[in-house]
Structure formats: structure tokens, C-alpha cells
A and B are shown apart, each in its own frame.
Chain A
Amino acid sequence: MDLSLIVDFLFKGLEISGPIAFAALGAVFCERSGVINIALEGFMAVTAFTIVWGSIAFQSIWMGLLVAIITGVIMSLIHAVATITFRVDQIVSGVAINIMAIGIGRFLSQNIFNQETQSQLNPYLFPTVFGINSFAFALIPITAICWFVLFKTRFGLRLRAVGENPEAADTLGINVYLMRYSGVILSGVMCGLAAAVLYPAKWINGMTGGRGFIALAAMIFGRWHPVGAVLAALLFGYADTFRIMFETKIPIPSQFVQMLPYVLAILVLVGMMGKAKPPAADGIPYEPGE
């Protein structure tokens, strides 16, 4: 086989896996603290727009990234306030945000770029290294940082405690609300990072294409572990890259490759019950004193 093609595949796969991986990392933090988040898709839909907007407005991709992160945080705050402070059902809140997000990008694009379905081109980008968006390389150190934070720091220990047994954490003086807010906000931050590697050159309506849901599948497949989730995301991303690059050469219809992440996640759930368990208090709103 052509060596340069393989190398190309390796790097391209990293770039394509990037958004899923970052979003999956965010999902891990969120669910580990006990909050289900099906609105990653919606978060990313908005941050994908704001990174373009911010870059153009401030003439710098780094500023764009900052704007994207801030936007991710704002979106996540909606989910956090609704589900943590008001104890609204976490699925419904996620659904509401996903619906909202459909309109936000289009609305802003209409007003800022006078075009509803796409933005203008953003020339301020991360440098291209080995043919891909160099921000993709940030995935590796960031994954390591996430793993460290979750398992080796006081914050991570408390976050995980709150997701498993919030009553216990509360009696030990840990602020359950604060921990859960942190978890949700981190998922917003990570969706900002995901936008940086998705396609910061231009916003197109619908560009997230379900990646938020694939990220959930990656989180499950990775058994709610940051490294596992990223490996799963890489698996899905590389499978998709393989499909894109070698579509005409393989007999499998592309849609089955599209299905792969979800089928794998289901198989994980079926095959490894008991070990593949979400955090015990995942999805249950916390009511103090009851």
C-alpha cells in the first residue's frame, strides 16, 4: 500500500475524530457528576457558529476559540440551571436546548452574515500541520489532563462522589450543586474546543451532523472513562475517515459505517452489564434533606 496514503489516513482520522472526542470528554465530566446531557449536539451547533463569528470579529482564531468556549458555557448554564437548581427532567431540558440551537445559528448567521444557511469564510485559522488542523493535536494532552483531573485531584474525586452518592457527599460537606454545575459547564467548555477542530473555516447549517449523539455513544462505549471515551471516539472517527477516503473501494454501504458507533455502543451495553454502568446517581435530580 501507498505509505503516504496511510500517513494521510492517520492524520486525517485524528482531525475527524477530534470534535467527537472533545464532546465525549465533556460528556464524561457531565455524567460523572450525575447529570445526563443529550444537548451536546445543540451546544456544538452553537459553538461551531460562534467560533467562526468570533474569529472574524476579533481577527484571531484564538479569540474565536475563546468566544466559542464562552458560548458553550452559556448554553451549558441553561441546562445546569434548569436541571440542577430547578430539578427539571434532564432529558427534556436537553431536548429544549437542541431545539433552541437549531434556530440560534441560523438566526445569528442571518443577522450577521445576511445568509441563513452559511456564514462567510473565516480566514483566521489554526496553522495546518501535516495537512490537518493543528488543534487536533491538542486532543492528546487535553485527554491526559482530563484523566488526571478526574482521578488524581480533589475536584475529580468530589465530582465522581457527587455522581455516585450525592447524599453521602452532602453529609461530608461537599457542595453537590457546585460540583454538578462544574460538570455541566465543563461539557460546555469541551464543546467549545470541539468546534475548534470541527471546521472553523466556515459555518454551514447542520454541520454538526449528529456528532453530539455519536459523542454520547463514545462515552458509553468508553464506559464513562475519559481515556475510554476518547479511544471510542477515535474508533468511530477513523471508521468514518476510512469510509470517506476509501468509499469506492469497499463494498460496505456508507450508511452502515455511519451506524457503527451506535451499534457498538449497544453491544457494549449488552455485553458488559455490571461493568458498563453509568454513575449511580446519573439522571436523578438531587434534593437535599429528603
Chain B
Amino acid sequence: MLKLRFDKYRLMELLAPVLGFLAALVVLLIIAMIVGETPGNAVRAIIKFTVSSASRLASVFSVAIPLFISGLAVAIAFRAGVFNIGVEGQYFIGGLVGALAGIYLPLPKFIHLPVVVLAAMAGGALWAAIPAILKITKGIHEVISTIMFNNIALALVNYLVNGPLSGRGEQSLEPQTRKILSTALFGKLNHWFQAIGLNVPNHVYLDYSLIVAIIMGILAFILLFRLRFGFEIRAVGTSIDVSRYSGIRVKTVQLGVFLISGAVAGLIGMQEIFAIRGHYTFEIASGLGFDGIAIALIGRNSPIGVIFSAILFAFLKQAGYGLQLYTSVPNSIIYIITGLMITFIVIINEIVTRYIRALRKKEAA
């Protein structure tokens, strides 16, 4: 079934995230000291806020959900060699389309929920479609086009939410849409966790988006490793020349994987829109798309790796809040640390990969 090849090379590959994380931690402690906080205090504050109780741990997982979906979306595309940097814009658009389905379609609950999920996926895929088509018809590199589309998306939703789709006046003065119907809202799963003995208080969001995330993860795994299309995705990502020679329809694969990636990206904002807020606003957390790029790479573009990578990122985010709460270290430091950690990890990754390659060559000789 799941054959995990564990040889010494795999272990070495895992070295990069571990070392990178530790290096970043060291920098964090140094900066904490500069700010006048003892390293011990800093570490204690982090542990207290992230792992000291089931509730705290659950918060980390809660934060990890959108990060996982984001990393997954990017990773799927990366597998085919497609750089979908447009995840950022795709989740804003996808979230909006999903919200619209949630606001304007009166449906019974057990239909409404899948519909909004599909709507969000459709929105994300739609936004990915134009850069995808530009890539396969005109050969325009997707890095450039998707960055452009990200910014277009932000301006577009800004306009729509401020204008035609505004639900202002109903609830608050903030620019936002009307409220999402209760049949589409993502309920919480906390009582399930409580039922099995994990005390997850109600202010922690472990909601239906967790189910969505798990389903997407499983589907991604099946796609990449059990379906023929997934094989072709991986083939195209390995060598376009060989793929073309063997009859694989490269452009179809690239288009397909781009749309799938966009569809998954559309779900990133689900937790915030459908569970936390109950309406759509362009003020939903931004930057998750870019986080996803780093998460995917650190997770080596595999669904399982992305899980760990997303949890790592979530851990860091929570650590930042913990520091802010319990010490004099401000939250802003976590951005610096996260950025440094990504840089450390990818650098160490390169060094390790090259070392492994040299070792392999020596072995074959």
C-alpha cells in the first residue's frame, strides 16, 4: 500500500527543515535577548502558547488548516513544473464566489455545504484559467502572469465588495457582503473532539474546513499517486521532452493541473469566511498564497510533507502571538523569523541535495 522508501538519502533530505527550523529558532532567541528578554522566557512563552494544552495545540492545527490547503494547491502544480504563484488571487476570488453561493442560493443544509465548496473551487479554477490558457497557447510564463492576476484580483474584489455586492448597513460599516445563509455556514467540530476526550474550547476553530482539508489531502494523494493523470503530472514535471515523446499531451496536463491547483486554492479562505466571519470581505487574511509557496517547497511538494510544513508554519505564527502576550518580544518578529527560516531551509536543502547527488554518483561508479 503506502511504501515509504526510507533509506539514508531520505533521512538526509529531512535534515533541511529540521536544521533550518533550529537555525531560525536560534536567531529568534538572539533577537529576544537584544530586546531584553531571556531566551528561557522566550522559549517558555512559546511553549505555553502553542503546545501546553489541548486547546492550545488545537489552535495550532486550526491555523494550519488554510495553510495546508494553500501549500497543497501550490504543491500539486509544482509537481508538473507549473509555478502557480497566483494562489493568492485565486483564494480571494474563490472565496467570493463561494460566499455568493452561500448568500444567494437558498438550499437545504446538506446540499448547500457541498455547493459552496464546489463554488469556491470553481471560482479559484476560473481565476487560474486565464493564466493557464495564456501559458499553453502563448507560452507566457505563469510566474509573471499569475503575479499580475493576483493584484488584479485584489482590486477586483475590493471594487465588488465596496460596490455591487456590498451588504453594508446590514451589520456594520465595514465593507463586506451580506451575511451568508445559515445553511451554508461551517459549523464547529469541537463537540466531536470533546466527545473523545480532547478538551477543545469553543473559541478554537476546528470546523468543517478541517474536513474539507482532509478530503482535499486524500484526493490529492490519490490523484498524484494512483491515477494515470497524476502519473502524467509527475512525468511532465520531470521532463517535458520525455513526456512529449511518449505521447503524453503535455499542454493538457499543464492546463489540467493549473485548474486543479486553482480549484484547491479557492478553498483557502473557507475557514475564515464560512466559519469565523460569516460573510465575505476583502479584509480576509492576505498573504496565505505566498505562505503556501514556501510551505509547498519545504514540504517537498508531497501531500504528506505539506501537512508537516503547514503545521510548522502555524506553529510559528502562534509562537509569535505567544511571545507578544507573555514577553516583551513583539509579534512582528515572527515575520522576520519565518522569512529567515524559509531561507535557511531552502539553502540547506540545496546543499544536501547536491551532496546526495555526489554520493549517488560515487556509488554508481
Contacts and interface: CB of A to CB of B under 8 A. Distances in A.
B249 interface: no
B35 interface: yes
A144 interface: no
Nearest to A110: B330
A111 B35 contact: yes
Given A91-B83, A111-B35, A258-B155, A269 B144 contact: yes
B335 interface: yes
Nearest to A216: B147
Given A95-B290, A213-B147, A220-B144, A82 B347 contact: yes
Contact of B156 (A87, A93, A255): A255
Contacts of B336: 100, 103-104, 107
Contacts of B332: 102-104, 106-107, 110, 116
SS class, residues of chain A in contact with chain B:
helix
Interface residues of B, number: 47
B148 A98 contact: no
Given A210-B151, A216-B147, A269-B145, A88 B330 contact: no
Contacts of A101: 335, 339
A222 B291 CA distance: 29
A266 B343 contact: no
A43 to B, nearest CB: 13
Given A270-B134, A278-B141, A262 B148 contact: yes
Contact of A259 (B138, B139, B141, B152): B152
A20 to B, nearest CB: 13
Interface string A259-274: 1011101100110010
Contact of A262 (B35, B83, B139, B151): B151
Contacts of A253: 159, 163
B340 interface: yes
Contacts, number: 142
B351 interface: yes
Contacts of A263: 148, 152
A281 interface: no
A220 B141 CA distance: 12
Given A99-B291, A103-B336, A265-B148, A88 B134 contact: no
B149 A103 contact: no
B280 to A, nearest CB: 16
A98 B134 CA distance: 27
Interface string B60-90: 0000000000000000000000010100000
A261 B150 CA distance: 12
A92 B294 contact: yes
A78 B27 CA distance: 15
A103 B287 CA distance: 13
B23 interface: no
Interface residues of A, number: 47
Given A210-B151, A258-B155, A96 B294 contact: yes
A88 B346 contact: yes
A9 to B, nearest CB: 22
A76 to B, nearest CB: 13
A21 interface: no
Interface in B332-355: 332-340, 342-343, 346-347, 349-351
Given A86-B347, A86-B351, A107 B338 contact: no
A205 B300 CA distance: 33
Given A95-B290, A270-B134, 12 more contacts: A82-B343, A95-B293, A95-B294, A96-B340, A116-B332, A214-B151, A262-B151, A265-B148, A266-B145, A269-B144, A270-B138, A283-B143
24 contacts: A82-B343, A88-B350, A92-B297, A92-B346, A93-B346, A95-B293, A95-B294, A96-B338, A96-B346, A99-B294, A100-B338, A101-B335, A102-B287, A106-B332, A116-B332, A213-B147, A255-B159, A258-B158, A262-B151, A269-B140, A269-B145, A270-B138, A270-B140, A273-B139
Interface of A: 36, 38, 78, 82, 86-89, 91-93, 95-104, 106-107, 110-111, 116, 210, 213-214, 216-217, 220, 253, 255-256, 258-259, 261-263, 265-266, 269-270, 273, 278, 283
